[in-house]
Amino acid sequence: MTTATGAAFLNGGLTVLSEEEELFRASVREFAEGEVRPRVETMEHASKLDPDLIKQCFELGLMAIESPEEFGGAGSTIFNAILAIEELARVDASVSVFVDVHNTLVTNAFMRWANDEQKKRYMPQLATDKVGAYALSEASSGSDAFALKTRAVDKGDYYELTGQKLWITNGNEAEIFVLFATVDPDAGYKGITAFIVEKGFEGFSVGKKEDKLGIRASSTTELILDNCKVPQENILGEVGKGYKVSIETLNEGRIGIGAQMLGIAQGAFEAALKYTQEREQFGQAISNFQAIQFQLAEMAVEIEATRLLVYNAARRKDAGQPFLKEAAIAKLYSSRVAEAVSSKAIELYGGYGYVKDYPVEKFWRDSKIGAIYEGTSNMQLQTIAKLIMSGK
């Protein structure tokens, strides 16, 4: 954290950006406007990210924001990562979550839990050309994340993994997976272990891609492990400590989802504002009517409140301060605001907002996932309640 940014954080100026952060935000916005926006409609209809865009994300360093410089990354902060996620979501939530998961879940897991050899082998790949994915969820383990059925059996030089993963973001594009399985079902969460799984490993395959309501260009797939052979040296962390890997990684990931929802809300608001200034009724722009102005003002208030919550969680994390409650609050609130603001944007567009020729219906569809993935809204409420009841 720079001196200027640190001072802003301590003084409560959470939305004050350093010069470096302003430049970074501007560069991501230029990329989002110039390269992402022209591809949004095509990617939405194809339900697939443009491969050239994926390549550009690597070339611009968006896939290695926090990764150390020695491994080809920028060695930057989670705050810069959430700035990128926010700016991308302002244009397209699918590209945003693609970058988000790679940074806040996969790279973060390697930074925190990989040993030196694993870092040397995998982190340069994740920084330059290999997409990462995070594989925790299964059919029977959603909010009950540790009710895993995927089994890992010790075969000496390797573990044999058998099972099925669901709802895996980046499933089609990824080549490196942080994947969770249990080495002992009777041990409950203490049997959960994290593994580094490569797409080319024997017994590993990607299953069907889900046909989703929103973030349609983002691939959400199943993974099939049919006696998949994973070398002993690919255990991430320690045997039986996978629950700790997953919990601590997801805590940071929730700040990323908060930033994604913030970007969606901002994008929907900007589209609505522009439309109301152009749309004429009764001989004048509808933005001249106080009823419309008040609705826009309410949207702006909610977005700014969301920005404060998301930025606060990221600043706390970068400053080494506790951020679990703040991350849960940011994710909970941002998902509500994204859905409410994008819904209001549809109403301000009137009938035009309900058709796919205009952008706001997509913002609304993309917003709904915020209340579901990386911890449902009810799970965030549970986390917040536990922490405030315990005095933390």
Residues 74, 141 within the same domain:
no
**Rounded distance, CA 281 to CA 272, Å?**
15
Residues 228, 102 within the same domain:
no
Amino acid symbol at 364: W
pLDDT value at position 6?
Answer: 43
Q: If you average pLDDT over residues 168-176, what whole number do you get?
A: 98
Q: Are 193 and 235 in contact (CB under 8 A)?
A: yes
Which structural domain, as residue segments, surrounds residue 50?
A: 3-131
Spatial CA neighbour of 362 closest among 168, 210, 212: 212
Residues 114, 173 within the same domain:
no
Dihedrals φ, ψ of 268, to 5°?
-65, -40
Residues 17, 123 within the same domain:
yes
**Which CATH number do you get for residue 284?**
1.20.140.10
Residues 175, 292 within the same domain:
no
Residues marked active site are found at 374
Which tokens hold the place of 172? 């089609």
**Rounded distance, CA 240 to CA 264, Å?**
38
Q: Which residue has the higher pLDDT, 36 or 391?
A: 36
Residues 266, 380 within the same domain:
yes
**Rounded distance, CA 136 to CA 148, Å?**
8
Domain boundary among 131, 165, 186: 131
pLDDT value at position 16?
Answer: 87
Residues 292, 255 within the same domain:
yes
Q: Are 218 and 49 in contact (CB under 8 A)?
A: yes
**Rounded distance, CA 367 to CA 343, Å?**
9
356-360 long-range contacts, Cβ below 8 Å, gap at least 24? 358/271, 358/275, 359/267, 359/268, 359/271, 360/268, 360/271, 360/272
Task: Give pTM, 2 decimals.
Answer: 0.95
pLDDT value at position 51?
Answer: 98
Taking only the tens place, the pLDDT of each residue in 331-359 is 999 999 999 999 999 999 999 999 999 99
Domain boundary among 75, 96, 131: 131
Count of domains in the chain?
3
% residues pLDDT > 90 (the chain) = 93
**Which CATH number do you get for residue 214?**
2.40.110.10
391: left (phi over 0), alpha (psi -120 to 50) or beta: left
pLDDT value at position 13?
Answer: 56
Pairing of strands 220-231, 158-169: antiparallel
pLDDT of 94 higher than 60: yes
Q: Are 192 and 143 in contact (CB under 8 A)?
A: no
The confidence band for 14, taking pLDDT boundaries of 50, 70 and 90, is low
Residues 264, 139 within the same domain:
no
Residues 250, 375 within the same domain:
yes
Residues 52, 67 within the same domain:
yes
pLDDT value at position 3?
Answer: 40
pLDDT value at position 9?
Answer: 43
Taking only the tens place, the pLDDT of each residue in 242-290 is 999 999 999 999 999 999 999 999 999 999 999 999 999 999 999 999 9
**Which CATH number do you get for residue 87?**
1.10.540.10
Work out the number of other CB atoms within 10 angstroms of the CB of residue 385.
11
Residues 351, 373 within the same domain:
yes
Taking only the tens place, the pLDDT of each residue in 187-216 is 999 999 999 999 999 999 999 999 999 999
The confidence band for 104, taking pLDDT boundaries of 50, 70 and 90, is very high
Q: Are 273 and 102 in contact (CB under 8 A)?
A: no
Residues 319, 234 within the same domain:
no
Domain boundary among 103, 131, 159: 131
**Rounded distance, CA 166 to CA 139, Å?**
6
